[in-house]
Structure 1
Amino acid sequence: MSRTQPSNGTLTSLESALAELLDGLAPVALTSMPLLQARGRIAAEMAALASPLPERTRAVIDGWALRSLDLAGASLYSPVPLMNSPVWVEAGDALPDGCDCVLDADLVECTGPIAQAFTDAIPGQGIRRAGEDIAAGRPAIIAGRPLLAVDLLAARAAGFMSVAVHSPNVRLIDVAASDDNLLTAELIAELMQAAGARVSVETAARDARSITDTLDAHPCDLIVTVGGTGFGRSDVTSEALTMCGALIAHGIALRPGRTAAIGKLGALPIISLPGAPDQALAAYQTLVQPVLDRLTGRTGRSGTVLPLARKISSAVGIAEIALVRQQQFTWLPLGVGDLSLDHIRMADAWLLIAGDSEGYAAGTPVEAFSLRAA
């Protein structure tokens, strides 16, 4: 693996940097997690259901369990006498043998010598057949997707108390700023937790030796540092990566986020993000998020394709991040390259303009990825 030394003049393409990080990377080992703690984690493969849900046909309303064939022709003006006495069931009760529907209480009269129905019914009315929720052989949890409340509902219905997940252990190292500002570190920690990672936050002093000592401290699946990646005299994060033989590239052809650095300690990926929120956010979305997707086994991440409300211009040779807001059925550009906090808080999504592109004309369909997804 080649190592690119930091340089103000030479930038590594975003595609090359990401390829280096993903090379040889695989999902972390699965772990079992209680359902109460599993929301937002990325589901791993689990055994298929041995039994269907529900296991037996059940009523979904309170009423009379009947056989639909016995109700043919029944109406308010021409009630049909019932040869077999109806059985009262509550919602959730298993249906008696031979019954295939449930009628509301006021549609059956049982006070006379012979019960009678005032309406007909179709098979399946008022009931849920065995296997209608989830068939036997189907997974209770769909692997590769974030576990949302509805996924946990299905797991509970199937009787699970825990689920298998891929949840990488990420160490976030905040390279202390002179003003002790934690805004960016807190942003990145929250983003990684939302992506399904277990995040521990540490602080390193703003000198190369302290950073190097912190890098070697504890085993994990990914190290992300925040701050100290620039080319100023107090920016020593890339020097620390060089000292421990980890540096692959310092300076990515990305705007914002040009001063980001990447490295590996053996097979352990390291991503060093700039300290400014907009630069860190851009490098997070383009470098950290794809690595987390690989480590968690997440699949099927896709954006929303809409036409641009107006033109976006971009310089050739450097990938640029644009923030957009949905306006009716279009993406309205808010900012490109230089992103203010106002842009960030108002944006619905972000999109990447490739380094070989001059941008997009108004009306061009583009894919943008949500900044507000759970």
Structure 2
Amino acid sequence: MLSVAEARARILSAFSALPAETIALPDALGRVLAEPVVARLTQPPFDAAAMDGWAVRAADVAKADPAHPVPLRRIGESAAGHAFSGIVRAGEAVRIFTGAPLPGGANAVVMQEDCEADETIVRVGRAVAAGRHIRPAGFDFAERQELLPAGRRLTARDVALAAGANVPWLSVRRRPRVAVLATGDEIALPGDPLGPSQIVSTNALGLCALVATQGGVAHNLGIARDTADSVAAMAAGAVGCDLLVTTGGAAQGDYDLVRDVLTDNGVALDVHTIAMRPGKALMFGRAGAVPLLGLPGNPVSTGVTAVLFLRPILRVLQGLPPDETQGPQRARLATALKANDRREDYLRAALSTDADGALVATPFSRQDSAITSLYAQADCLIVRPAHAPAAAAGEMVGIVPLSGGALNL
């Protein structure tokens, strides 16, 4: 049996980043940059007020205090989008608002709370140093400065930054196109009439949703029945995609036809037995020109293997490292666990925090790979290496978070 690490390494070595394409900024959320975002202007483009108040010469108010306010002649106003065009000279002040350009001659802003004004005179009751309450030109960033690096998945904050840098178009990696094919006479689409031996298909819709969360575009090919002709015809719908993912038919039973049908069509497939639980049988190869990843048909096995194998493929296709974090993530174990056997175990668990803010993982008492309701409630997978000894409550264990993806604030 292959280890999970070895199987992942073999599979991921077959993929590289997709070509770049140019998109409009409003479509950029969740996309991965192929080229850096470089500022097309300086921000702010001028010295700007950081407070509502009065633009003054610091020397004119150097001796001001509440008991001895300094009177200055008000000569105008500077508001956002409406700069004062004159020059502040000795004994003068300009009413100014946050974000407005600092008038020529002024070198400080006194907060409005420290002043009293009528229509002609402002009385300044606090001294300020030169530069006080001013954001100098380029305080945020300068023209031609790199703001976001290539290989970054764009968040809502990144989109706002690119907009502020006056960048209307971005070069990003093309979104992976993933065809998803469920197989089996026993499954029917949600809402369709169920035969006496049928169950509702969950895997294809779950896989399509996972592809979307990771920034890909999913194409649901439907359900292939347990005949060679049906499997071949449905799999042909993956032409033009970057990956075909099948669910079911990866084992070696009499009705597991995916391997045999695709092999008969001259496709090289590796059928691996992975030393993991849940999930064991896994296929990888090519269906014509399209890479194929065959996942098990058991619902939780499908979900867990998709997290461990499909999710990193999608990240690599977008020019990202296979995992969101460098190195294993860890949490404190809430309950004791028995020793593990030769298969790497992925236990569904809930995450919480203790009084010190540390992560605590609580494995569910039932771990059967058919229990989809608990898998939906899980926050992470606790990783139990092969032959791991018994673990006591409070020990640190490795975890695989089930959160994260393309849509990040």
TM-score (norm 2): 0.78
Compute the displacement of 1:288 (Å).
0.7
Q: Deviations over 1:66-120 (max 9, x none)?
A: 3445443433223234434222233332222344443343433343865331223
Separation in 1, partners of 2:63, 2:390: 67
In structure 1, the residue matched to 2:270 is: 248
Counterpart-to-counterpart distance in 2, 1:266 and 1:72: 80
Answering whether residue 386 of structure 2 is matched by residue 355 of structure 1, we say yes
- 1:163 to 1:231, Cα distance in 2 relative to 1, 3 A: same
1:344 paired with 2:375, answer: yes
**Residues of 2 paired with 1:80 and 1:359: CA distance?**
77
Distance 1:316 1:125, change over 3 A: farther
Cα deviation, 1:247-304, whole Å, max 9, x if unaligned, reads: 1124322211113322234774321122332111110111111111211112471164
Residues 43-86 of structure 1: per-residue CA shift (max 9 Å, x gap)? 33225224332222323443322344544343322323443422
Kept in 2, the 8 Å contact 1:315–1:357? The answer is yes
Which residue of the partner structure matches residue 334 of structure 2?
309
How many angstroms apart in 1 are the aligned matches of 2:388 and 2:59?
67
> Paired residue for 1:6?
none
Distance in structure 1 (CA, Å) of the matches to 2:207 and 2:258: 17
Q: Distance in 1 between matches of 2:288 and 2:66?
A: 79
Moved more, 150-159 or 244-253: 244-253
- 1:366 aligned onto 2:364: no
Determine whether 1:184 maps to 2:215. Answer: no
Q: Distance in 2 between matches of 1:249 and 1:110?
A: 82
CA contact (8 A) 1:321 1:351 kept: yes
Question: Structure 2 regions of 5+ residues with no counterpart?
Answer: 73-89, 189-199
1:239 maps to 2:239: no
Written as runs of structure 1 = structure 2, the 5 A alignment for 1:92-241 is 92-111=99-118, 115-121=122-128, 125-166=132-173, 167-175=175-183, 177-180=185-188, 181-206=200-225, 207-217=227-237, 218-241=239-262
Deviation larger for 317-326 or 94-103:
94-103
1:48 and 2:69 correspond: no
Shift, 1:212, TM fit = 3.2
- Give the superposition deviation at 1:155: 1.4
Write the mapping of 1:278-357 to structure 2, written as runs, cut at 5 A: 278-299=300-321, 301-302=324-325, 304-313=329-338, 315-328=340-353, 329-335=358-364, 338-339=368-369, 340-355=371-386, 357=388
Aligned to 1:115, the other structure's residue is in SS state strand
Cα pair 1:12 1:249 within 8 Å, conserved: no
Distance in 2 (alpha carbons) for counterparts of 1:137 and 1:195:
31
**Secondary structure, counterpart of 2:301 in structure 1:** helix
The alignment's TM-score, normalised by the length of structure 1, stands at 0.85
What is the root-mean-square deviation of aligned Cα atoms in Å? 2.9
Q: Pick closer, same or farther for the CA change 1:56–1:229 going to 2, 3 Å.
A: same
Which residue in 2 is equivalent to 1:3?
Answer: none
Specify the alignment match of 1:30 in structure 2. Answer: 20
Aligned partners of 1:192 and 1:199 also within 8 Å: yes
| Corresponding position: 1:66 with 2:95 | no
Matches of 1:68 and 1:307, distance apart in 2: 57
Identity %: 27
Q: Count residues with an aligned counterpart.
A: 364
